[in-house]
Structure 1
Amino acid sequence: MENISFQSELPTAIRVDLGAIFVSLELSRSTWLITSLSPGGGEKMSRHVVSGGDVAELMNLFDHIRKKAHSRTGCSFPIVTIQEAGLDGFWIHRVLEANGIESHVVDAASIAASRRRRRAKTDRIDGEALVRALLAFKRGEPRVCAMVRAPSPEEEDRRRVCRERKVLIAERVEHVNRIKGLLFAQGVSGYVPLRKDRRKQLESLRTGDGRPLPKHISAQIERELDRLELLLEHIVAVEHARDAMIAVTKDVMTTASTPAARLCALKGIGAEFAAILWGEGLSRHFDNRRQVAAYAGLAPTPWQSGTVDREQGVSKAGNPRLRTTMIQLSWLWLRNQPMSALTGWFMERVQSNDGRMKKSAIVALARKLLIALWKYVTFGVVIEGAVMKTA
């Protein structure tokens, strides 16, 4: 009898003794697919469709799922939801938490998938996979998936400044190149659209064969200059907002100074780099240096199997803006901080390879420098040999 009792308590493929209702949200512009696994319903998952963006309809569906689970078991259960990080941002996550629902946002790339060359992929399959990942995560299984820490509305809004400036700079390059291309087709070179006397220059231009600029192409360039000047005004406004956000104080080590201001006080780090470093990465909470490197995508990715042991390079799975900025900053760090311990480590490593492998060494320096900046901003640990800007 004891053996029979033991066998009857063996777990099934999917646990049905759940203490909550587990729900996944597959989001799209037109519809939201809701997949749920409720207590008392066995191993079968339920699927419902909600109009995209209709929060009221979603909440009514959750109430219906709760009541259905209560009628089956006689108990009330909380709802735990999961959704993929994507274009919808974090507003749905905040709405769910405001309504007392436990919500999780997962990095979709961290969920294991079939490695077959051709594998089935539908919203229904993805919804069920999200529910299974949520179940494993709540059971405490390690490394089953990577949950995203949702930033606060203030943190999310602060990143807009540097990201908008990057977009505006790219648009400025497009307009400048378009103007130069139009003039080059007429045999004109050497025109600089970013100079203040750009319109006066345009009036005196002559084509390669000595003619004045044709009427229509001249009008097109004038309109391009109008858009370019508007972009330049927007760039100045964004840079003023960035400088106000940094708010550099006289004493950068006081508690009144912002962390971005302390970064900006280091020689070789300007206002733009300081704002990106703080807004994109260092404003977040990290438990250790490995998390810092992994968030920037600068963590190593070893490949070990039997006798095979090789390094594939950095993962590139983190924040691409932070990773790009750190690599650019590393080159500037070598020039502006030649006496620092990090620069000495880089030079010693490159010299040991007869001057080769500088690119791989600069990525390693970027990882070390990011960790050093994190310690400097978070704990006040001064970077060894680093020089501060003079007043």
Structure 2
Amino acid sequence: MSVANERSEAPTAIRSDLGAIFVSLELSQSKWLITSLSPEGGGKMSKHAVAASAVAELLDQFTELNRKAQARTGKCFPIIVIQEAGLDGFWIHRVLQAEGIESYVVDPASIAISRRRRRAKTDRIDGEALVGALLAYKRGEPRVCAMIRVPTPEEEDRRRVSRERKALTNERVRHVNRIKGLLFSQGVSGCEPLRRDRRKRLEELQTGDGRPLPAHLKAQISRELDRLELLLEQIKAVEAERDAMFAAAQIVSPAPALLLNLKGIGPEFAAVLWSEGLYRHFDNRRQIAAYAGLAPTPWQSGWVDRDQGVSKSGNPRLRSMLIQLAWLWLRHQSRSALTLWFRERVKQNGGRLKKTTIVALARKLLVALWKYVRAGVVIEGAVMKTA
């Protein structure tokens, strides 16, 4: 469920009769600060701290809050909890839901802050701001904050494969560049550490002035090759796990197979597209473009009306992959309607602004792929892979 879907579940009218105990959790690695507002508190917020990860103490505090409220009013109130998305992930949210507690995870960047002076930042202030945002959200105030659609444990785990492969390939690039840099400092160029005969070629290399490679340098490069070869084996294992996961996903849903049918989309692009975005439900094209951070950001005031470019506020992995896919789409889908639109737009600009136009193409491509996966709408002019 996207952020927009969360808004659709919010109350449609602003309410003031919210009989509940509102609680915010300000989480850190050392302690959790619990800020609460009870119906009988007269607007005063109370604060308690428990040790980090002390779930039992947290639930005891909730029980105590309810006991005090019931002793003063004679009523039993539900507890509504809010926390920021951060390093702790979503396990606390799942624990609270398992206990029957209404819980929300909010995007911290979506909460408005005062711009009148230098901002004060403490856990106490942040906890009170979270409670205020939760109150406004439950009253039905529009655009007060953006609640996150928490993925299921299976959806969250499925994304690990493509993200791990990306981390491993980045590390592989660093080792390759390190080896090339060490050799270049001795006048050796043109070495490719990813070749299979890298060990043999290392023994044959000489410095630019005709000397054999120094012993300690050769030993250092050999250890770099050890780490590089380990990375290559791990990348193969991750790719095999990705392919097996994708094959299992195709049994449940035909969408992954549909992505692989398009020329220019391989297993890695299809895995990122599916696990990072297209498995979710979106109501319209604006929601999916905003989720990828490819929605335009307007700037309008009086007679000034211009576009600031894309927001870049969505999923960065999906967005960067779509930019790469857009360039590949031009190569492999040269006769598609999207490619023709790109060429016509660049031609109108005199061959300039290709990088800006490719972002617009990435947004159009994402929407087209979403329609193709969800509704079976074939992209106009797209070429399918041959069997």
- What range describes the TM-score normalised by the shorter chain of this pair? over 0.9
* Structure-2 change in CA distance of 1:258 and 1:242 (3 Å): farther
- Relative contact order, CA 8 A, sep 6+: which one is greater? 2
Contact in 1 for aligned 2:16/2:139 (Cα 8 Å): no
The one-letter amino acid of 1:128's match is E
Distance 1:280 1:50 in 2: 34
Equivalent position of 2:4 in the other structure: none
* 1:273 maps to which of 269, 272, 276: 269
Whether 1:386 and 2:382 are equivalent positions in the alignment is yes
* Structure-2 change in CA distance of 1:334 and 1:16 (3 Å): closer
**CA shift at 1:174, angstroms?**
1.0
| 1:170-206 Cα shifts (integer Å, max 9, x gaps) | 1111111111111122222222111111111111111
Distance 1:211 1:51 in 2: 62
Distance 2:16 2:62 in 1: 19
Whether 1:336 and 2:332 are equivalent positions in the alignment is yes
Q: TM-score, normalised by structure 1?
A: 0.92
Q: TM-score, normalised by structure 2?
A: 0.93
SS of match in other structure, 2:341: helix
**CA shift at 1:343, angstroms?**
1.5
- With 38-47 and 256-265 compared, the bigger mean Cα shift is at 256-265
Equivalent position of 1:81 in the other structure: 81
User: Map of 1:199-238 to 2, 5 A cutoff?
Assistant: 199-238=199-238
SS of match in other structure, 1:26: strand
Equivalent position of 1:307 in the other structure: 303
| 1:145-191 Cα shifts (integer Å, max 9, x gaps) | 10000000010001101110111111111111111111122222222
**CA shift at 1:209, angstroms?**
2.0
| 1:111-136 Cα shifts (integer Å, max 9, x gaps) | 11112351212111111111011011
Identity of aligned residues (%): 75
Equivalent position of 1:366 in the other structure: 362
Unaligned runs of 5+ in 2: 1-14
Equivalent position of 1:193 in the other structure: 193
Contact in 1 for aligned 2:23/2:35 (Cα 8 Å): yes
Distance 2:196 2:353 in 1: 43
**CA shift at 1:351, angstroms?**
1.7
Which protein is bigger by CA-based radius of gyration? Answer: 1
SS of match in other structure, 2:65: helix
SS of match in other structure, 2:32: strand
Contact in 2 for aligned 1:29/1:52 (Cα 8 Å): yes
Equivalent position of 1:124 in the other structure: 124
User: Map of 1:309-324 to 2, 5 A cutoff?
Assistant: 309-324=305-320
* Structure-2 change in CA distance of 1:166 and 1:154 (3 Å): same
Contact in 1 for aligned 2:25/2:32 (Cα 8 Å): yes
Distance 1:144 1:328 in 2: 34
* Structure-2 change in CA distance of 1:367 and 1:16 (3 Å): closer
Aligned length: 373
The one-letter amino acid of 2:331's match is R
Unaligned runs of 5+ in 1: 1-14
Equivalent position of 1:150 in the other structure: 150
Equivalent position of 1:175 in the other structure: 175
Equivalent position of 1:107 in the other structure: 107
Q: Which portions of structure 1, spanning 4 or more consecutive aligned residues, are displaced by more than 6 angstroms?
A: none
Distance 1:366 1:206 in 2: 46
Equivalent position of 2:25 in the other structure: 25
SS of match in other structure, 2:33: strand
Distance 1:385 1:357 in 2: 24
Distance 2:230 2:169 in 1: 12
